[in-house]
Amino acid sequence: MNATKFIKMISELHTERFNVHITELANKKTPCGIFFGFEVIPRNAIDKVQWLRNSGINLSCVIVLADVQANALRKFVDVPVITLEDFPLFGEKNFPIKPQEIFIKTFQDFPFAQYFINHGIEVLTHADDERFLLIMKHLPELYEVYKILASDESKKVFCAAIKGRLTAKISDYRFAPETQYFLEGFTPSAGDIAIDAGAYDSGTAIAFAKCGAKVFAFEMDATNYKNCVTRLERFGKGYDITLENLGLSDKEGEEKYFSWNTGSRKDSNGTFTAKFIDLDTYVAKKNLSRVDYIKLDIEGAEWEMLKGAAKTITRCKPKMAVSAYHRPEDLWTLATYIKSLRPDYEFEFRHYQIDYNDYKLNDEERALLRYFGLNCFSPTSCEMVLYCR
């Protein structure tokens, strides 16, 4: 994939970006729908419906999971409200026109995106011109990252990541088939010293240990840390895993954070406090002769952690799998910084579907997905990984 294709993709964004597409949908009176799923009565469903109506969208229906939702919403919206089970009846007598595009605006409802995609319907999330202007402002940096990606597949995925974020069309993304963090050639090997930054429930730490690595797993969130301990007691016996109730950052000390399952993140306004350490200091304290692998998924603090690991990265050149989607600028800052430390790094880029089991689906929710022929994996704008070796 050459520079011409990158430029072509960028030029297309001027006419395909979300706000332009919304105007086009309105002008053409394209039938559209909006979906509300797992919440019994979506808290701000009425506002979301009204936003679409104010944008001139031809909203042919609101789709929900259950009759209780439909009955609640019918009192407040002036468009047909139907259940997902009735969805195949579109076009029959007394049913609304089948929508060509469906809006899903709640993260927890995205497991149902594939259902609409399977029926040939475009699924839209949301974007804005502020994001578009930010991307346009940083095109030179994005192009530099594009150039250093090693394979044609990485270049395609990277361009798709840019495009999808600005069009808000799920179909514009390009998802990888392999298990997240396990791109061939970028995984820990037997005897490696591996860092798992953002252990969550220790699942990845155990997976890396199964590769034969000695794993140092870091989890700042107190609840997640307890879950790690429990899982390691059940499934981690016999593996060389050191679990730390610490966050990784650019310096040692205490910081505030918000607690929310996989989304727990460091934040100065957070309601909880955790201890943090920079990797360079940790490596020195543990007298580690080397670090061979780093997996990094810490909800937007990746940049800070990399700065705190600069000496280790420069000295050891570990293979890395770095989450590159929590902040818009991650698409251009992370690879650029890593390359400044070791110009001899090779880079790949992949995008993965989310496993909604990580977001604590209950048995009833899993059963609903199965009923509609779906699994717990879903395409979203999240889970982009920058690989380095």
Last residue of a domain, one of 343, 359, 379: 343
How high is the mean pLDDT of the chain? 94
Kindly give, in sequence order, each residue whose CB lies less than 8 Å from that of residue 303, ignoring residues fewer than 6 positions away.
327, 330, 333, 334, 337
Same domain, 121 and 197: no
Residue 120 has pLDDT above 70, yes or no: yes
Last residue of a domain, one of 86, 108, 126: 126
Same domain, 204 and 313: yes
In a domain, 159, yes or no: no
In a domain, 40, yes or no: yes
User: Looking at residue 88, which CATH number applies to its domain?
Assistant: 3.40.50
In a domain, 131, yes or no: no
User: Looking at residue 258, which CATH number applies to its domain?
Assistant: 3.40.50.150
Residue 219 burial (10 A CB sphere; 0-12, 13-18, 19+)? buried
pLDDT-wise least confident of 37-51, 123-137, 344-358, 375-389: 37-51
Last residue of a domain, one of 111, 126, 141: 126
Closest Cα partner for 81 from 62, 66, 60? 62
In a domain, 162, yes or no: no
Q: DSSP string covering 267-328, please? A: -TT-SEEEEEEEHHHHHHHTT-S---EEEE--TT-HHHHHHHTHHHHHHH--EEEEE--SST
Contact predicate 224/199, CB 8 Å: yes
Condensed to tens digits (0 to 9), the pLDDT of residues 295-346 reads 999 999 999 999 999 999 999 999 999 999 999 999 999 999 999 999 999 9
In a domain, 142, yes or no: no
Q: In one letter, which amino acid is 83?
A: T
In a domain, 187, yes or no: no
Q: In what order do the strands lie in the sheet with 293-296?
A: 241-244, 214-218, 193-197, 293-296, 319-323, 384-388, 347-351
Contact predicate 245/225, CB 8 Å: yes
The model's confidence at residue 1, banded by pLDDT at 50, 70 and 90, is low
Q: DSSP string covering 194-230, please? A: EEEES-TTSHHHHHHHHTT-EEEEE---HHHHHHHHH
In a domain, 59, yes or no: yes
Condensed to tens digits (0 to 9), the pLDDT of residues 171-209 reads 999 999 999 999 999 999 999 999 999 999 999 999 999
Q: In one letter, which amino acid is 2?
A: N
Same domain, 231 and 118: no
Count of domains observed in the chain: 2
State which residues form the domain around 27.
18-126
Which 3 state secondary structure label does DSSP give 343?
coil
- State residue 389's pLDDT score: 98
Residue 80 burial (10 A CB sphere; 0-12, 13-18, 19+)? middle
In a domain, 81, yes or no: yes
In the chain, the largest separation of any two C-alpha atoms, in whole Å, equals 74
